[in-house]
Structure 1
Amino acid sequence: MSIEMEAELQQEQLLRAREAQDSGRFDEAVKIYEQLLARVPDHREALQRLARLEVQLGHRRAARWYLERFVALEPENAAARHEFALSLAELNEFDKALAETQEADRLKPNSPEILNNIGCLLKRMGRPLDAIKYHEQAVTVTAENAVLSFNLGSALLAAGRLDDAVPILRVAATLDPNLAEAWAGLGEALLKRGNTRSSVGPLRRALELKPDDGESRYWLAGALQNCGQFEEALLCYLQAAERHPDAPDVWFGIGRCQLECKRFTEAVEAFQKCLKLEPDHSAAIHEQGKTLFKLGCVEQAMKALRLATKKGSKDIETLALQNMAVMIPGNPTDTNRTVLEVRQTWGRRLVSRPQGPHLRDPGTGPLRIGYVSSFFQGANWMKPVWALINRHDREQFQIELFSDASLDRIEHGYRPDPRDQFHDITGQSNEAVAARIAARGIDILVDLNGYSDMARLPLFALRPAPIIVAWFNMYATTGLDCFDYLIGDESVIPAKEESFYTERILRLPNSYLAFEVDHPVPDITPPPVVTTGQLTIGCLASQYKITDQVVATWADILRGSPKAQMLIRNSALGRTEHCEHLSQRFAAKGISRDRLILEGPAEHLQFLSTYNRIDFAVDSFPYSGGTTTMEALWQGVPVVTFNGDRWVSRTSVSLLKSAGLDEFVRSSVRDYTDFCIRLANSTDTPSKLEALRADIRQRLRASPVCDAAALARSMEHCYRQMVSEKLPKESR
Structure 2
Amino acid sequence: MDLTDRGHRRHHTMRESLESAMRSARGGSGLAQALATVRTIVRTQPGDAEARTVLGFLLSQAGEHEQAAHHLGRVVAVQPKDPRARNNLANALMQSGSWQEASAQFRTATELDPGYRPAWLGLCTSLMHGRDAAGAVQASDAALRIHEPWPELMMARTGAMAMCDRVENGIADLRRAVERFPTHAGLRGSLLLALNSTGGTADDVAEAHRGYARCVTAPPQPPSRDPDPDRRIHVGILSADLRTHSVGYFVRAVLSHRPPGITVTAFSSSVPTPDDPMTAELRALCDGWVDVAVLDDAALDRAIRDRGIDVLVELSGHTGGNRLPALDRKPAPVIATAIGYPNTTGHPCIDWRFVDAVTDPPGTESRCTERLVRLDPCFLCYAPPADAPDPAMPGEDAPPTFGSFNEAKKLQSETIALWAPVLHAVPEARLAIKSRSAAEPAVRASLLARFGAAGIESARIDILPFAADTRGHLAQYARVHVALDPTPYNGTTTTCEALWTGVPVVTLEGDRHAARVGTSLLRTAGLGELVAPDAAAFARIAAELVRDRERLVRMRSGLRGMLASSPLMDAPGYGARFHDAIRSCWREWCARSRA
TM-score normalised by L of structure 1: 0.63
The change in CA–CA distance for 1:473 and 1:270 in structure 2 (over 3 A counts) is closer
Letter in 2 for 1:327: A
SS of residue matched to 2:377? coil
In 1: Cα distance, 2:446 partner to 2:104 partner: 22
Asked if 2 retains the 8 angstrom alpha-carbon contact of 1:367 and 1:397, the reply is: yes
The structure 2 residue matched to 1:653, chosen from 504, 508, 519, is 519
The structure 2 residue matched to 1:678, chosen from 518, 521, 544, is 544
Alignment of 1:623 with 2:492, yes or no, is no
Report the equivalent of 2:586: 723
Letter in 2 for 1:657: R
After TM superposition, give the deviation of residue 287 of structure 1 in Å.
5.9
After TM superposition, give the deviation of residue 701 of structure 1 in Å.
2.0
The structure 1 residue matched to 2:335, chosen from 455, 459, 468, is 468
What fraction of aligned residue pairs are identical, expressed as a percent? 25
Query: Aligned residues, how many?
Result: 512
Asked if 1 retains the 8 angstrom alpha-carbon contact of 2:189 and 2:318, the reply is: no
In 2: Cα distance, 1:257 partner to 1:231 partner: 9
SS of residue matched to 1:531? coil
The structure 2 residue matched to 1:700, chosen from 539, 549, 563, is 563
In 1: Cα distance, 2:225 partner to 2:206 partner: 29
Asked if 2 retains the 8 angstrom alpha-carbon contact of 1:309 and 1:318, the reply is: no
SS of residue matched to 2:215? coil
In 1: Cα distance, 2:507 partner to 2:577 partner: 26
Report the equivalent of 2:323: 456
The structure 2 residue matched to 1:531, chosen from 381, 396, 416, is 396
The structure 2 residue matched to 1:294, chosen from 163, 168, 173, is 163
Consecutive unaligned residues in structure 2, runs of 5 or more? 1-71, 95-101
After TM superposition, give the deviation of residue 724 of structure 1 in Å.
2.3
In 2: Cα distance, 1:616 partner to 1:595 partner: 15
Alignment of 1:542 with 2:407, yes or no, is yes
In 1: Cα distance, 2:263 partner to 2:121 partner: 50
In 1: Cα distance, 2:267 partner to 2:166 partner: 35
Asked if 1 retains the 8 angstrom alpha-carbon contact of 2:432 and 2:480, the reply is: yes
Report the equivalent of 2:6: none
CA RMSD of aligned residues (A): 3.7
Asked if 2 retains the 8 angstrom alpha-carbon contact of 1:629 and 1:639, the reply is: yes
1:495-553 deviations in whole A, cap 9, x for unaligned?
A: 2211011111111121111223352111112x21x522411111100121111222333
In 2: Cα distance, 1:318 partner to 1:461 partner: 11
Structure 1 stretch 409-418 or stretch 437-446: which is displaced more? 409-418
Report the equivalent of 2:362: 495
SS of residue matched to 1:348? helix
Letter in 1 for 2:451: F
In 2: Cα distance, 1:201 partner to 1:410 partner: 31
* Bigger proportion of residues as helix: 1
In 2: Cα distance, 1:380 partner to 1:254 partner: 26
In 1: Cα distance, 2:90 partner to 2:478 partner: 41
The change in CA–CA distance for 1:417 and 1:532 in structure 2 (over 3 A counts) is same
Report the equivalent of 1:402: 267
Report the equivalent of 1:432: 299
Report the equivalent of 1:575: 440
After TM superposition, give the deviation of residue 433 of structure 1 in Å.
2.9
SS of residue matched to 1:385? helix
Letter in 2 for 1:704: P
1:435-480 deviations in whole A, cap 9, x for unaligned?
A: 2322222221111122224541222223221111111112111101
Asked if 2 retains the 8 angstrom alpha-carbon contact of 1:624 and 1:651, the reply is: yes
Letter in 2 for 1:599: L
In 2: Cα distance, 1:237 partner to 1:460 partner: 35
Letter in 2 for 1:648: A
After TM superposition, give the deviation of residue 356 of structure 1 in Å.
1.2
SS of residue matched to 2:196? helix
Asked if 2 retains the 8 angstrom alpha-carbon contact of 1:558 and 1:591, the reply is: yes
Report the equivalent of 2:103: 230
Report the equivalent of 2:238: 372
The change in CA–CA distance for 1:581 and 1:235 in structure 2 (over 3 A counts) is farther
Report the equivalent of 2:450: 585
Alignment of 1:486 with 2:353, yes or no, is yes
In 1: Cα distance, 2:396 partner to 2:139 partner: 46
Letter in 2 for 1:558: L
Letter in 1 for 2:178: T
Asked if 1 retains the 8 angstrom alpha-carbon contact of 2:158 and 2:174, the reply is: yes
Report the equivalent of 2:177: 308
The change in CA–CA distance for 1:233 and 1:445 in structure 2 (over 3 A counts) is closer
After the TM superposition, which residues 11-26 of structure 1 pair with which residues of structure 2 at under 5 Å, given as runs? none
In 2: Cα distance, 1:364 partner to 1:286 partner: 44
Asked if 1 retains the 8 angstrom alpha-carbon contact of 2:266 and 2:286, the reply is: no
Asked if 2 retains the 8 angstrom alpha-carbon contact of 1:199 and 1:223, the reply is: no
Asked if 2 retains the 8 angstrom alpha-carbon contact of 1:375 and 1:382, the reply is: yes
The change in CA–CA distance for 1:488 and 1:252 in structure 2 (over 3 A counts) is closer
The structure 1 residue matched to 2:462, chosen from 568, 593, 597, is 597
In 2: Cα distance, 1:377 partner to 1:279 partner: 36
The change in CA–CA distance for 1:551 and 1:225 in structure 2 (over 3 A counts) is farther
The change in CA–CA distance for 1:409 and 1:344 in structure 2 (over 3 A counts) is farther
After TM superposition, give the deviation of residue 715 of structure 1 in Å.
1.7
SS of residue matched to 2:437? helix
In 1: Cα distance, 2:75 partner to 2:275 partner: 34
After the TM superposition, which residues 74-473 of structure 1 pair with which residues of structure 2 at under 5 Å, given as runs? 229-234=102-107, 258-259=127-128, 261-268=130-137, 288-310=157-179, 312=180, 320-333=187-200, 335-362=201-228, 365-378=231-244, 380-393=246-259, 395-404=260-269, 409=275, 411-412=277-278, 414=281, 420-473=287-340
In 2: Cα distance, 1:223 partner to 1:377 partner: 24
Report the equivalent of 1:509: 376
Letter in 2 for 1:396: G
Asked if 1 retains the 8 angstrom alpha-carbon contact of 2:378 and 2:521, the reply is: yes
After TM superposition, give the deviation of residue 204 of structure 1 in Å.
5.1
In 2: Cα distance, 1:717 partner to 1:278 partner: 54
In 1: Cα distance, 2:494 partner to 2:362 partner: 27
The structure 2 residue matched to 1:564, chosen from 426, 429, 434, is 429
Asked if 2 retains the 8 angstrom alpha-carbon contact of 1:557 and 1:676, the reply is: yes
After TM superposition, give the deviation of residue 407 of structure 1 in Å.
8.9
> Relative contact order, CA 8 A, sep 6+: which one is greater?
2
Asked if 2 retains the 8 angstrom alpha-carbon contact of 1:351 and 1:458, the reply is: no
Letter in 1 for 2:555: L
In 1: Cα distance, 2:283 partner to 2:487 partner: 37
The change in CA–CA distance for 1:278 and 1:677 in structure 2 (over 3 A counts) is farther
After TM superposition, give the deviation of residue 258 of structure 1 in Å.
4.9
Letter in 1 for 2:593: E
Report the equivalent of 1:687: 550
After TM superposition, give the deviation of residue 642 of structure 1 in Å.
1.0
The change in CA–CA distance for 1:298 and 1:687 in structure 2 (over 3 A counts) is same
Report the equivalent of 1:669: 535
The change in CA–CA distance for 1:387 and 1:274 in structure 2 (over 3 A counts) is closer
Alignment of 1:612 with 2:495, yes or no, is no
1:39-77 deviations in whole A, cap 9, x for unaligned?
A: xxxxxxxxxxxxxxxxxxxxxxxxxxxxxxxxxxxxxxx
Alignment of 1:552 with 2:552, yes or no, is no
TM-score normalised by L of structure 2: 0.76
